[in-house]
């Protein structure tokens, strides 16, 4: 049975990144992850709910945190952070873990780190959906409004950064297996550097002038505060009197995201360049 | 690259940094900066043009660069220097694995593999039944491939590779793994591919197979192309490299130096007439071999045997020159073996000459570097032997 047309178009089909291939690989990863578990995909959805319960209990009942509705505040920033950190951590092993394929089949190698990102984007979208539904059900409707649109540029910046780093670490880890360990440490530190479990106002009080800008050179800082503005939204004000959100307006976030977007774009260029340079030798180095 | 060339390798070299020396961690890289890297030259300046529709065998000793060549041609390894270009979909089965994910089921792996090779899901849907039929793994297709035996693994891999409509099929020593039944199916599939004008490259240690199905064979030795051409002579070249061209027992008996030295071997209609390579059944065939021999060895020769061999070096017939027909002194001899009428069965033949001493021990052996062919007579193309026979039929019980 003859399939696609000319040999040249089939050469391209084998060498070019295709959406179909990416989607197939993501589906495969999801299948492998939930193989043998009864609830399967529901675990990923239950995950943010459990976090919500645990964190609300710890930070509002036990530690008496100043942020009202702390669970919602936390998840506003945490879900996108998890997407980022999960993607980068998985991407570190994307090439090394698929050595069997890389050494035996000729295919567009760029699809491997993209699959890691796609896998976590699927989870992010579904978990965000669950969060919004829960907020709605519990009567927290502050997220409804124009400010929710801020999530679009925030997620876009996060995706560019995530993809860039995914390419970078996937390629570097083939040659230097230390990459994996460095990535683990950096991501762990990143969780505490970014204002996810605490309000950014605690930090911004100490940042003046150039330092205020330098802080947002880390694109995830801008992404996290913008997501909080988009979802947690209503600045009810902390009980201590400090605001919880970085800024009540929009422009503040757009500026920070533009800066973060620029940095992310540079990282993406660096990542893709590094990956393309190193990928020709993957089969040999594995 | 010409229209009918599907893979072209130009001045391709591949060097590996010896594995024990390679720094795999940052620490090692920083500490031992390029201290003593030993390079392994896997391929040296290889030039190959693979024509569309050809079946090319890659042969060589272990470690001669066959698998590396295949990987470089497949575009999986990047050559250190030189260029490789190819046209069309390449399906490869390298080193007993098809790139399966052991956690996934056979079915999922089929889809995964096909999508990596550039097929859409719908295209794979359309092919799935054929793939399954060919692999004969229907009852295991939904089991994870980690539970497959190596034979099953290869069956599925081969089945995917041949059904994704490849323009070029690269196969590394895969037919050795399946059972005979499956090997036959693979060979039938390869024959079908040959008829369809697809290009096949394969690595095998089965030299008989190379002679049987390849239109061309490339002999590799320590990363160099030693011979590129007729599969018959390619296998002969390789046997010389491996030292298996002589029967085991005479290796030590072969006189030192070139005391017995074979010269040209010619095929013609009559002794001394013009050399030809193609014969028709019934035509006379004369085989003349020339050799130089010293007096000492000439005195020891008791008999010279010429063995005509067909496919797979199968001896088809033998002829002998006895002591009383041989010249008395050494020097330059011409030996003539005359067959009044070529066999009706036809085929391609090479001749091997054997010098035997008085007690029957072989002293030296020589194999021709070119073949002669006999066109089979219609109705006699099957079998090694054509015998006289009668036929009859009768009706024992009326309908």
Residues forming beta bridges with residue B34, ordered by sequence position: none
Q: For residue B253, what pLDDT is reported?
A: 43
Q: For residue A183, what pLDDT is reported?
A: 96
The low-confidence residues of chain B, meaning pLDDT below 70, are 1-2, 18-37, 95-98, 245-259, 381
Smallest Cβ–Cβ distance between A176 and the set B25, B86, B87 belongs to B25
Give the residue extent of every domain in chain B. Answer: 5-242, 248-374
| Contact across the interface for B119 and A3, Cβ inside 8 Å | yes
Smallest Cβ–Cβ distance between A11 and the set B87, B101, B112 belongs to B87
The CATH architecture that domain B248-374 belongs to is Sandwich (2.60)
How far, in Å, CA of A72 to CA of B208, rounded? Answer: 73
Contact B182, B151 (CB under 8 A): yes
CB < 8 Å to B103, chain A: 32, 35
- Nearest CA-CA distance, residue A108 and chain B, Å: 8
CB < 8 Å to B75, chain A: 106
Locate the chain B residue with the closest alpha carbon to A109: B116
Check: complex ipTM more than 0.90: no
Tell me which of A4, A11, A112 to substitute to probe the interface with B (most B C-beta atoms closer than 10 Å): A11
- Nearest CA-CA distance, residue B225 and chain A, Å: 22
Q: For residue B251, what pLDDT is reported?
A: 41
Euclidean distance between the first and final Cα of chain B, in Å? 66
How far, in Å, CA of B117 to CA of B112, rounded? Answer: 9
Q: For domain B5-242, is the CATH number 3.30.1360.120?
A: no
How far, in Å, CA of B311 to CA of A195, rounded? Answer: 77
Judged by a CB distance cut-off of 8 A, whether residue B189 touches chain A is no
Locate the chain B residue with the closest alpha carbon to A1: B165
Locate the chain B residue with the closest alpha carbon to A107: B116
How far, in Å, CA of A278 to CA of A211, rounded? Answer: 36
| Contact across the interface for A10 and B127, Cβ inside 8 Å | no
CB < 8 Å to A101, chain B: 99, 101, 116
| Contact across the interface for A105 and B117, Cβ inside 8 Å | yes
| Contact across the interface for A106 and B74, Cβ inside 8 Å | yes
| Contact across the interface for A32 and B118, Cβ inside 8 Å | no
Q: What is the DSSP string of chain A?
A: ---SS-HHHHHHHHHS--HHHHHHHHHHHHHHHTTT-SSTTHHHHHHHHHHHHHHHIIIIIIS--SSTTHHHHHHHHHHHHHHHHHHHHHHHTTTGGGHHHHHH----TTHHHHHHHHHHHHHHHHHHHHHHHHHHHTT--TT-SGGGGGHHHHHHHHHHHHHHHHHHHHHHHHH-THHHHHHHHHHHHHHHHSTTSS-THHHHTT--THHHHHHTTSHHHHHHHHHIIIII------TTSS-SSS-SSSHHHHHHHHHHHHHHHHHHHHHHHHHHHHHTTHHHH-
Q: For residue B374, what pLDDT is reported?
A: 85
| Contact across the interface for A100 and B100, Cβ inside 8 Å | yes
CB < 8 Å to B120, chain A: 20
Q: For residue A94, what pLDDT is reported?
A: 94
Q: For residue A237, what pLDDT is reported?
A: 58
- Nearest CA-CA distance, residue A172 and chain B, Å: 10
Q: For residue A2, what pLDDT is reported?
A: 45
| Contact across the interface for B89 and A7, Cβ inside 8 Å | yes
CB < 8 Å to B167, chain A: 7, 10
The low-confidence residues of chain A, meaning pLDDT below 50, are 1-4
């Amino acid at each position: 049975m003859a399939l696609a047309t000319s040999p040249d178009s089939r050469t391209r089909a084998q060498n070019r990144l295709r959406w179909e291939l990416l989607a197939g690989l993501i589906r495969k990863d999801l299948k492998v992850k939930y193989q043998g578990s009864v609830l399967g995909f529901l675990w990923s959805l239950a995950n943010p709910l459990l976090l919500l319960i645990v964190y609300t209990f710890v930070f509002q009942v036990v530690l008496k945190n100043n942020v009202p509705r702390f669970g919602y505040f936390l998840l506003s920033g945490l879900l996108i952070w998890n997407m980022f950190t999960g993607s980068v951590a998985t991407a570190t092993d994307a090439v090394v873990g698929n050595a069997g394929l890389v050494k035996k089949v000729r295919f567009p190698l760029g699809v491997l780190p993209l699959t890691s990102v796609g896998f976590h984007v699927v989870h992010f979208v579904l978990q965000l959906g669950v969060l919004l539904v829960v907020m709605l059900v519990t009567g927290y409707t502050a997220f409804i409004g124009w400010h929710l649109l801020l999530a679009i540029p925030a997620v876009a910046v996060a995706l560019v950064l995530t993809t860039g780093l995914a390419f970078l670490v996937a390629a570097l880890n083939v040659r230097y297996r230390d990459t994996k360990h460095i990535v683990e440490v950096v991501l762990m530190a990143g969780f505490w550097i970014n204002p996810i479990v605490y309000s950014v106002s605690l930090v911004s009080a100490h940042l003046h002038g150039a330092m205020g800008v330098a802080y947002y050179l880390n694109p995830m800082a801008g992404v996290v505060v913008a997501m909080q503005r988009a979802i947690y939204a209503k600045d009810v004000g902390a009980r201590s009197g400090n605001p919880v959100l970085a800024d009540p307006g929009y422009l503040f976030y757009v500026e920070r995201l533009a800066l973060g977007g620029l940095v992310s774009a540079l990282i993406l260029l660096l990542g893709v360049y590094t990956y393309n340079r190193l990928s020709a030798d993957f089969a040999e180095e594995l | 690259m010409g229209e009918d060339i599907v893979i072209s390798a130009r001045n391709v070299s591949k060097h590996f940094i010896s594995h024990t020396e390679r720094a795999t961690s940052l620490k090692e890289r920083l500490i031992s900066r390029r201290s003593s890297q030993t390079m392994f030259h896997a391929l040296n300046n290889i030039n190959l043009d693979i024509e569309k529709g050809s079946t090319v065998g890659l042969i060589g000793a272990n470690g001669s660069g066959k698998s590396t060549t295949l990987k470089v041609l497949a575009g999986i390894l990047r050559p250190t220097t030189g260029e490789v270009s190819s046209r069309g979909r390449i399906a490869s089965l390298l080193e007993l694995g098809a790139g399966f994910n052991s956690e996934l089921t056979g079915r999922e792996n089929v889809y995964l593999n096909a999508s990596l090779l550039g097929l859409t899901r719908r295209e794979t849907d359309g092919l799935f039944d054929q793939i399954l039929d060919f692999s004969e793994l229907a009852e295991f297709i939904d089991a994870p491939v980690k539970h497959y035996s190596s034979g099953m693994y290869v069956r599925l891999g081969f089945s995917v590779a041949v059904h994704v409509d490849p323009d070029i099929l690269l196969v590394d020593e895969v037919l050795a793994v399946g059972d005979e039944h499956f090997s036959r199916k693979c060979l039938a599939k390869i024959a079908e591919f040959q008829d369809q004008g697809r290009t096949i490259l394969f690595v095998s240690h089965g030299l008989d197979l190379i002679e049987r199905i390849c239109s061309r064979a490339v002999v590799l030795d320590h990363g160099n192309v030693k011979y590129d051409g007729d599969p018959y002579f390619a296998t002969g070249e390789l046997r010389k490299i491996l030292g298996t061209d002589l029967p085991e027992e005479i290796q030590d008996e072969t006189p030192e130096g070139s005391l017995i030295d074979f010269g040209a071997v010619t095929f013609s209609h009559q002794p001394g007439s013009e050399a030809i390579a193609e014969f028709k059944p019934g035509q006379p065939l004369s085989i003349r071999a020339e050799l130089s021999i010293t007096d000492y060895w000439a005195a020891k020769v008791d008999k010279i045997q010429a063995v005509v061999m067909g496919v797979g070096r199968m001896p088809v017939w033998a002829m002998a020159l006895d002591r009383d027909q041989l010249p008395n002194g050494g020097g330059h001899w011409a030996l003539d073996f005359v067959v009044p009428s070529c066999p009706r069965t036809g085929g391609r033949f090479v001749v091997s000459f054997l010098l035997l001493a008085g007690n029957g021990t072989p002293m030296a052996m020589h194999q021709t570097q070119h073949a002669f062919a006999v066109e089979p007579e219609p109705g006699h193309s099957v079998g090694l032997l054509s015998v006289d026979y009668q036929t009859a039929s009768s009706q024992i019980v009326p309908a």
